[in-house]
Structure 1
């Protein structure tokens, strides 16, 4: 019976992680409402989910808001740019769809072009905020890195897009799932994203205690 109520029991550990995912997802949703904070909030979500939920380092809200604060400026800039890009693409897709009836060939051609551009934008958006959470880069370097990685690792990119799409579908049919959906999608995608990041990580000089750096991501 003593082990049943032990906080190190696998059941309680799993329950603790589930609660962390729920709380951080709700915080993320509220922080995305002002629009301008979508970028830094998405960056912080990835950082906190990987560091705390996967690697069990630190506390979920402390790590979340630490990353949110440190990456606010760059995250906000990228988030605003992407917001405008997706709004424009949305209008373009509607326009192309409207052309398919009077002129199917022209409409279909435009639809294909805009769908291709939308795919590139979605692929880019999946990578750019996790990259920002992990690497110290300028905005220009972030754009280059996200564009390169999303195309260089296209199988993983397609899988992560599929994961995000599946999560959206689940939310549509089971709306309460929205309150844990952000962390769920991030956690699943991180299983692939972290494999990609390891290819670009510099070699460690030694354990964190020796280097003075918190190199939890190299463990």
Structure 2
């Protein structure tokens, strides 16, 4: 029984992992506050989560900052492009809605483009965190991997939507728990699934 609570025991390891996820969540939230840094924060969080799985994270804070600096430029380009697209869609919503529902062809074409965009976005930040590729190559790989591993893609999508949106809105009594663990748990949980996909192609450098 004493071994259960030792530094090599199961309880200690789980509590340490929980502490790391809380710390990851805190750094992620703080890094997202300037808004413009959200892309880099997501990439850094995934990069740190991948290291945690390999038990090579070292100091969580230093690892997060290192990944943030390394992928700042590419991640910010992706995020600002997405933000610009969202603003454009919001401003032009009446026109876009009219075009979208003008015919079945335009509707299905719009849904297809939306699906492709979501699939790319789902994989792009983790790919930037895991592999050192050009942004254009990473975007193409994101689409190909998301389609090739569609069951995993659906699972990751449900995890992100459930943990990021459904949980805090439908379980408001647990909002404080979500605030301390939500983002970190979603990123770490989805990184476990991404690792199953990525390990076929490469390993962490």
Aligned residue in 1 for 2:144? 148
The alignment status of 1:134 with 2:135, answered yes or no, reads no
Please, which runs of 5 or more residues in structure 2 have no aligned partner? none
1:110 Cα deviation after fit? 5.0
Which segments of structure 1 move beyond 3 Å, counting only runs of 4 or more? Answer: 1-5, 86-97, 107-116
CA drift of 1:35 comes to 2.1
Deviations 1:87-132 (A, max 9, x none): 33455666555x59xxx95277655443432222221111111111
Residue by residue over 1:22-68, the C-alpha shift from the partner in whole angstroms, topping out at 9 and shown as x without a partner, is 1211211121122221111111101111212x222222112111111
Structure of higher CA gyration radius: 1
Q: Give the alignment of 1:77-156 within 5 angstroms.
A: 77-90=77-90, 99=98, 106=102, 112-156=108-152
- Single out whichever of 65-74 and 84-93 deviates more from structure 2: 84-93
Q: 1:191 to 1:106 in 2, by over 3 A?
A: same
The normalised TM-score by structure 2 is 0.83
Assess if the C-alpha contact under 8 Å between 2:89 and 2:96 holds in 1. Answer: no
The answer to whether the 8 Å contact 2:5/2:11 transfers is no
TM-score computed with the length of structure 1 as normaliser: 0.78
2:200 equivalent in structure 1: 199
Q: Do the aligned partners of residues 169 and 91 (structure 1) sit closer, same or farther apart at CA in structure 2, a change above 3 Å counting?
A: farther
Would you tell me which structure has more helix in proportion to its own residues? 2
Structure 1 spans left out of the alignment, 5+ residues: 202-214
Give the whole-Å Cα distance in 2 for the aligned partners of 1:79 and 1:113.
24
Deviation at 1:4, TM superposition (A): 5.9
- Report the CA distance shift for 1:69/1:151 in structure 2 as closer, same or farther (over 3 A): same
Which structure would you say has the larger RCO, counting Cα contacts within 8 Å and 6 or more residues apart? 2
TM-align CA RMSD: 2.6
Contact 1:124 1:150 in 2 (8 A): yes
Q: Residue by residue, what CA displacement relative to the aligned partner does 1:107-161 show, whole Å, maximum 9, x if unpaired?
A: 7765544343222222111111111112111122122221222222222212111
Alignment partners' CA distance in 2, 1:89 and 1:199: 37
Which deviates more, 149-158 or 2-11? Answer: 2-11
Which residue number corresponds to residue 166 of structure 2? Answer: 169
